[in-house]
Amino acid sequence: MGWGRNRYPMRPYVVVNVAMSADGKLSTIERRQVKISGEQDFARVDRLKAGCDAIMVGIGTVLADDPSLTVKGEECRENRRRRGMDEHPVRVVIDSAARIPTDAKILHKGQGKRVIAVSLKASPEKVAALKQYATVIIAGEDEVDLAKFLDELGSMGIQRLMVEGGGTLIEGLVRAGLVDEIYTFIGNIIIGGKDAPTLADGNGFLTESSFARLTLLEAHRIEKGILLHWHVDSQENLS
Ligand code: NAP
């Protein structure tokens, strides 16, 4: 597994992890969080998280699930402390208009830093309020300029970044050529619904030449599902 991209020495190495149903959905059409995997996969995800400098989600996930994105296992937290790190990775939210509620769990639960990426359209008052809890970085005019923001994270010393979703953010990262690896746990349920979130939502890619290409690194059964580990082949910015 490589660290950092030679072309962009400051940019973090990006690992996406999601759990999806057998029909490729991340949650229901109501965007309600669903238990897709079991204890063994939770533990794998916790270790993956603990091994990263930062963990990132889009504002859609914060508003839908209100996650804390903390490391749950005591052993994982102890390992981080021994390495002189905060117990939890830096928690990062992509949120152009600064819609995150100031009482969101991600801003309050567990020790460690928070970073919120906003664009110029965020209200200065809300940005000032968020600065009590997080470092706020302005990147982009309308939506967050993900490449520019990842460069900022790199310059803050973040070398390895885990992305938990959702599908809109992941599509934006893939489109910008910023994803290095993807783990997809596929569980034994069908959620259905043509508007239910998937791994890559957004506008999608229209031509074969613009599809992101992957190399399968590993596939193995975990409990009642299967874990696929992909490498994203070198891609130029697809937008
Ligand atoms: P999301 O991907 O979490 O957040 C998307 C939002 O990020 C956009 O709507 C946009 O909102 C903001 N954003 C800002 N700049 C962006 C850019 N350059 N590219 C892309 N997005 C940008 O939201 P979602 O797609 O609605 O996903 C949420 C759903 O996914 C929930 O139902 C959640 O339960 C599910 N989920 C499932 C898993 C799983 O592993 N099963 C994991 C995570 C989430 P603004 O314009 O307001 O900035």
Q: Are the C-beta atoms of residues 48 and 162 closer than 8 Å to each other?
A: yes
**Please, what is the average pLDDT of the chain?**
94
Cα distance between the two ends of the chain: 26
Q: Percentage helix, strand, coil, to 5, in the chain?
A: 25, 25, 50
231 C-alpha to ligand 1 centroid (Å): 22
Per-residue model confidence as pLDDT tens digits over 28-59: 999 989 999 999 999 999 999 999 999 999 99
Find out whether the beta carbon of 165 lies less than 6 Å from any atom of ligand 1. Answer: yes
pLDDT band at 159 (very low <50, low <70, confident <90, very high): very high
Find out whether the beta carbon of 16 lies less than 6 Å from any atom of ligand 1. Answer: no
Residue ranges per structural domain of the chain: 13-232
At residue 235, the pLDDT reads 61
Provide the whole-model pTM.
Answer: 0.95
At residue 1, the pLDDT reads 35
Per-residue model confidence as pLDDT tens digits over 182-194: 999 999 999 999 9
49 C-alpha to ligand 1 centroid (Å): 18
Q: Is the pLDDT of residue 7 over 60?
A: no
Atom of ligand 1 nearest to the CA of 176: 18
Find out whether the beta carbon of 94 lies less than 6 Å from any atom of ligand 1. Answer: yes
Hey, which residues does 94 pair with through a beta bridge? 58, 117
Long-range contacts of 80-86 (CB under 8 A, 24+ apart): 80/50, 86/111, 86/112, 86/113
101 C-alpha to ligand 1 centroid (Å): 15
pLDDT band at 10 (very low <50, low <70, confident <90, very high): confident
Atom of ligand 1 nearest to the CA of 175: 19
Sign, Cα dihedral of 19, 150, 161, 12:
positive
Report domain 13-232's class: alpha beta
